[in-house]
Amino acid sequence: MRTGRPGFISASAVIIIIALLSLRIASKQSKPGTAHVPPPPKFEIDPFWPKPLPDRWVTGEVSGTCVDAQDHLFIVNRVNLTPDEQKNAKPSPPVIEFDPEGNVVNSWGDLNVLAPSPHGCSVDYRGNVWIGGGNDGIVQKYTHDGRKLLLQIGTRSRVDSTDGTTAGRALNSSHTLLNGPAGIAADPTNGDIYIADGYGNHRIVVFDHSGNFLRQWGEQATEAQSNAGVGGVFLGTVHCVVLGNNGLVYVCDRKGDRIQVFDKMGKYQRSIMIKSGVGSGAGVGSAWSLAFSRDKAQTFMFVTDGADEMLWTLDHASGQILSGLGRPGHQLGDFSYLHTIAVDSKDNLFVGETVNGRRIQKFRGVGN
């Protein structure tokens, strides 16, 4: 049974915690000459979300966050507890579903079927849950409750490389195999599946709703190409893919410190630069994942920057960075390996941390 939250957090402590969230304003603009830039939304940490996990559960690295039509949040974690945690805690199930109040309403994931190192998740327009396989080279589609595996793209433990393993040279070309899928997006107009096949390979690959190959684009960039802003090439990991309401495809070129924008056939449109703070010089890149505000125009973009450990708010139209929150650390509102983001219908933000962070945090929207 669930137990209540221990009562050691005082009201004054909560106020102090919330006050720790500082707002940093930056003025990097991808598209000059914009006439009007909207004021950015403001957020505050919700220190009581989620509710305590049952049965002494502890999550491993939280490598995927996604929201369904009922504002239920799904997190995918790697169940990789530390040796000390294994002595006094239980690993949580790989997939946990929370209701808007932060209660666990479902959990699932058979480690004999699910990829052992999941990366990314997405809930499609029919409520099915998609999970990337990371090092295992697969993308899987499950029913909303996780009881049935509906589709698998790729072959478990066989990747698109010269020897079929992650140690081989990536081929970036297979119509049936993936290498290191990092993100998934389903097109609500026709069910096509866009995959950021971005560890090892450097491409966006598109399949139809039955898992048949349709097309791909992208290849490894040189430093010179990346610095020159050449489109359609990726400096390192292709870390996310998101479909906009405008019919365009937004791709995280993580080490290139930019979001590249394409049409659905892969024609390059523009780049939105994420160059603030130390991210562009830290070697791991600043464009990790993104989500849009939920208004029809998707006025704002929210981008996680795991190098700066910052959550940036951008003006979607201009690409200008409007504000940011966060800092490196382990207190509420701090980040360590800030990885993925999801947004619910009320524009609350949910961010997952891997490696040293290994948790989910919620930021409530509190107006402009």
Place of tokens 């919700």: 46
Per-residue pLDDT for 4 more than 80? no
| Average pLDDT over the chain, rounded to an integer | 90
- pLDDT band at 160, cuts 50/70/90? very high
Per-residue pLDDT for 195 more than 50? yes
User: What is the percent of the chain with per-residue pLDDT over 70, rounded to a whole number?
Assistant: 89
For 205-218, the pLDDT digits (tens) are 999 999 999 999 99
pLDDT for 13: 44
For 7-40, the pLDDT digits (tens) are 334 444 443 343 344 334 333 344 444 458 899 9
Average pLDDT over residues 46-73: 97
pLDDT for 61: 97
Q: What are phi and psi of 283, to 5 degrees?
A: 90, -15
pLDDT for 10: 45
Range list of β-strands (E), 190-281: 193-199, 203-207, 213-217, 219-220, 233-234, 238-243, 249-253, 258-262, 268-273
pLDDT for 215: 98
pLDDT for 282: 59
- pLDDT band at 368, cuts 50/70/90? confident
Question: How far is 231 from 183, CA to CA, in rounded Å?
Answer: 19
Domains in the chain with CATH codes: 30-365 (2.120.10.30)
- The DSSP code for 11 is H
For 254-299, the pLDDT digits (tens) are 999 999 999 999 999 999 999 866 655 557 899 999 999 999 999 9
User: What is the percent of the chain with per-residue pLDDT over 90, rounded to a whole number?
Assistant: 83
Which two structure tokens, joined as six digits, stand for 63? 């490598």
Alpha-carbon torsion, ordered 199, 200, 202, 206, to 10 deg: -80
Q: What are phi and psi of 322, to 5 degrees?
A: -95, -40
pLDDT for 116: 81
Cα distances (Å, whole numbers) of residue 313 to 30, 42, 172, 233, 323: 14, 10, 32, 25, 5
Per-residue pLDDT for 132 more than 90? yes
Mode of pairing for the β-strands spanning 289-292 and 338-343: unpaired
Average pLDDT over residues 142-153: 98
Question: How far is 288 from 337, CA to CA, in rounded Å?
Answer: 10
Contact status, residue 128 vs residue 115, Cβ threshold 8 Å: no
AA identity, residue 151: L
Per-residue pLDDT for 303 more than 60? yes
Question: How far is 305 from 316, CA to CA, in rounded Å?
Answer: 17
Per-residue pLDDT for 202 more than 90? yes
Q: How far is CA 309 from the centre of its chain?
A: 14
Question: How far is 297 from 292, CA to CA, in rounded Å?
Answer: 9
Question: How far is 227 from 212, CA to CA, in rounded Å?
Answer: 35
Average pLDDT over residues 47-69: 97
Average pLDDT over residues 327-351: 97
Contact status, residue 192 vs residue 208, Cβ threshold 8 Å: yes
pLDDT for 26: 37
Contact status, residue 95 vs residue 74, Cβ threshold 8 Å: yes
